[in-house]
Amino acid sequence: MTTAIPVPARKKQENILWRRFRKSTPGKVGAVIVLVFVLLALLAPVIRPYNPSGDVDYRFRLSPPSVSALWNAEAKAKYTDPVTNQVDYWRHPFGTDNLGRDVAVRTLHGARVSLQIGILATVLALVIGSLLGVLAGFYGGWLDSVLGYFSDVMLAFPSILLAIGIVSISNNPGLTTAMIAVSVVQIPIYLRLARSVVLSVREREFVQAASALGAGQARTIFRHVLPNSLTPLIVQAALSIATATIEAAALGFIGLGAQPPTPEWGTMLADSRQYYTQASWTMLFPGLAILITVLGFNLFGDGLRDVLDPRSQ
């Protein structure tokens, strides 16, 4: 038995959801922010075609943003070409770090690293956690009890401390380990959410009708139960990317995430913390990137929740 929505009805439903999203100011703002950062991450080599780790220039070590030459005489002298006597206001628009590397280049390339960790970790947690939650909610019994105890134990620890413990146990800090650690700490969230949704969905008439017509359990789960349980999981995923980005930056900040010279926002904050009094821009721009990215995904998730929440229909 197939429960596919007829094409006209599906298009009508999509139009309704799109109109609702257009009315959601937080959703639109969040979508724009997310889209901008995704484009910046993808086009970073085109926007600033420099090596974020290898282009070291000690002549410009801890130099302020070049645009400050408009009002700062010292910066103007530093960014003036001795041959042409022209001021290059866009040489280092975000300034440079302690090695003379361009902060703008490293921030742009850091978007690629941070978003990669956040998105991949969330997708991995979504797939594993949702599958375990669907199985626990559909079958119940001892499987539900075991997975319930597992999620309770995992959620008893603060997520960042659990991630630190996982990376420490692996004794191999790096991007891959950080991504796995961030993913593992999010699995119980999706497990419990999927389980709660499935407990309701499995009692609905179309699921019982599919079983009565002889549909196997695997078909019932993947064709009827799981597709009708995705809405809250999708909303949670959008919100979790923000959390994953913060946790990945935190791991990088304490040296358990991305390793230097990889341009990751948390690592950039750690490298520049001893210079914040004399070169505040080295911390300002990576910190703002984290702030705006997290804000964008949170607003986008709130917009999706407003659109997909059945109570708003």
From the list 57, 111, 105, 103, the residue with the least C-alpha distance to 275 is 103
In a domain? residue 36: yes
CA 15 to chain CA mean position, Å: 27
pLDDT at res. 7: 47
Phi and psi, residue 24, nearest 5°: -90, 105
In a domain? residue 262: yes
pLDDT at res. 211: 64
In a domain? residue 84: no
- How many structural domains compose the chain? 1
Domain that holds residue 191: 23-57+107-312
In a domain? residue 143: yes
241 and 168 Cβ atoms separated by less than 8 Å:
no
pLDDT at res. 84: 82
pLDDT at res. 190: 92
Cβ contacts of 299 within 8 Å, gap of 6 or more: 26, 27, 29, 30, 33
In a domain? residue 246: yes
Q: Is the dihedral of CA 75, 77, 80, 81 positive or negative?
A: negative
> How do the pLDDT tens digits run along the chain, 313 residues long?
444 455 455 566 667 667 777 777 888 899 999 999 999 888 888 887 777 766 777 888 888 898 888 888 888 888 888 888 888 888 888 988 888 888 988 999 989 888 989 999 999 999 999 999 888 887 878 888 898 898 888 888 888 888 998 888 887 888 889 999 999 999 999 999 988 888 887 767 766 676 666 666 667 777 777 777 788 888 889 889 999 999 999 999 988 888 888 888 999 999 888 888 888 899 999 999 999 999 999 999 888 887 776 554 4
Cβ contacts of 290 within 8 Å, gap of 6 or more: 114, 245, 246, 249, 265, 266
In a domain? residue 165: yes
d(CA 221, CA 201) in angstroms, rounded, equals: 10
* Helices 103-139 & 141-155 angle (0-180, nearest 10): 150
From the list 141, 60, 158, 135, the residue with the least C-alpha distance to 102 is 60
What is the pTM for the complete model shown?
0.84
Beta-bridged to residue 87, according to DSSP, are 80
Whether residue 261 is preceded by a cis peptide bond, meaning omega within 30 degrees of 0, is yes
pLDDT at res. 291: 94
d(CA 191, CA 101) in angstroms, rounded, equals: 43
**CATH number of the domain where residue 217 is located:** 1.10.3720.10
In a domain? residue 89: no
In a domain? residue 38: yes
